[in-house]
Amino acid sequence: MDQRVGLIGFGAMGSAFAALLGATGSRPLVFDTHPVAIARAQGAGLDTAGSAAEIAERCDVIDLIVRTDEDVLAAVSGPGGIAEGAHPGSTLIVMSTVSLPTTLAVAEIMAGRGGAAFDACPTERPEGVFAGNNVFLAGGEEALVDRSRLHLLRMSREVIHMGPLGAGNAAKMVHNLLVGAERLILHEALLIGEAAGLPYVRVLEMLRDTTLTETPLLAEWQTVFDPSGADPTPKAGSNVLGKDVPLAAELARSHRVDAPITFAMARSGLALVKAATRKANGAGSRPR
């Protein structure tokens, strides 16, 4: 008998996963704390639940794709959370990029309810998911990951088991550390070029045409940098600079790794996000 799938978090990633699941005959039951997201899910023809606990009660497999550690813990152990409805044999898949303590805490809560949890982090943004490029980086008991492999392959081209619980998250942090590094150093290069009188859009086009094979970001730089020429700051609205790079720095500190470049990148990424937030709120000039 097919397992009922629940999806908690109907943002850009969650809605992409829901669409792929629905297209392969595994339409999920959806919950989100935001009414607008619930309305979008219902508009897409999906059944919705009134709480994360209801998802856990009615579903055997639960995909959790929210943004932060706090969001994950609230969804699992907060009022109306997964812990209130989890049942023996249920599996929680944590797709959010979060810290190891959060992943371990969630797994302990699920085990206490007779269920299980593992982490499986996607490598792609929604457009990459729809293009079929997504890969899940998984951490947890290998047998548990294998039992959910077919489910995950509905939303990805590959599932890579990286190791024990938390290994998927660690791998995602390493992956996004490189993505963030590329954006941050490119931003500095553009500022240097502008100071020398080179419009940054011209520089990006030149780099795209001369270093494309070395820097894949340049093939689609318009999705990260403003193509109008008004501001060379990379978009900070994604999770990479404001969350994932700092998480990688925390991971380095927790293992006492001497990683000064990573620590500096974390500071730079947070600074860009804060500057972008101030600009969006109508305060301050563009960061230089």
| Mean of pLDDT over the chain | 92
Q: State yes or no: pLDDT of 284 exceeds 70.
A: no
Domain enclosing residue 24, as ranges: 5-164
Give 60-113 pLDDT, tens digit per residue: 999 999 999 999 999 999 999 999 999 999 999 999 999 999 999 999 999 999
- Asked whether residue 61 falls in the same domain as residue 146, the answer is yes
Domain end (from 164, 199, 214): 164
pLDDT band for position 5 (50/70/90)?
Answer: very high
Give buried/exposed letters for 164-194 (b at 16+ CB in 10 A, else e).
ebbbbbbbbbebbbebbbbbbebbeebeebe
- Asked whether residue 11 falls in the same domain as residue 133, the answer is yes
State the Cα–Cα distance between residues 151 and 8, nearest whole angstrom.
Answer: 16
- pLDDT of amino acid 282: 77
Place of tokens 């859009």: 201
pLDDT band for position 287 (50/70/90)?
Answer: very low
Give 199-221 pLDDT, tens digit per residue: 999 999 999 898 766 667 888 88
Of 219, 61, 51, 231, nearest to 148 by C-alpha is: 61
Report the DSSP beta bridge partners of residue 91. 61, 116
Give 260-281 pLDDT, tens digit per residue: 999 999 999 999 888 888 887 8
Q: Structure tokens of 282? A: 């109508």
pTM of the model: 0.85
Looking at the domain assignment, is residue 154 inside a domain?
A: yes
Mean predicted confidence (pLDDT) in 126-137: 96
pLDDT band for position 283 (50/70/90)?
Answer: low
Looking at the domain assignment, is residue 124 inside a domain?
A: yes
- Asked whether residue 36 falls in the same domain as residue 119, the answer is yes
Total domains in the fold of the chain: 2
Q: State yes or no: pLDDT of 180 exceeds 50.
A: yes
- Asked whether residue 182 falls in the same domain as residue 157, the answer is no
Looking at the domain assignment, is residue 288 inside a domain?
A: no
User: At 267, which CATH number?
Assistant: 1.10.1040.10
Report the DSSP beta bridge partners of residue 195. none
Residue 171, CA atoms < 13 Å, CB-side half-sphere: 22
Whole-number percent of the chain with pLDDT over 70 = 95
- Asked whether residue 46 falls in the same domain as residue 139, the answer is yes
* Contact partners, residue 34, CB within 8 Å, separation at least 6: none
- pLDDT of amino acid 173: 94
User: At 24, which CATH number?
Assistant: 3.40.50.720
Looking at the domain assignment, is residue 285 inside a domain?
A: no
State the Cα–Cα distance between residues 239 and 228, nearest whole angstrom.
Answer: 23
Of 10, 63, 57, nearest to 33 by C-alpha is: 10
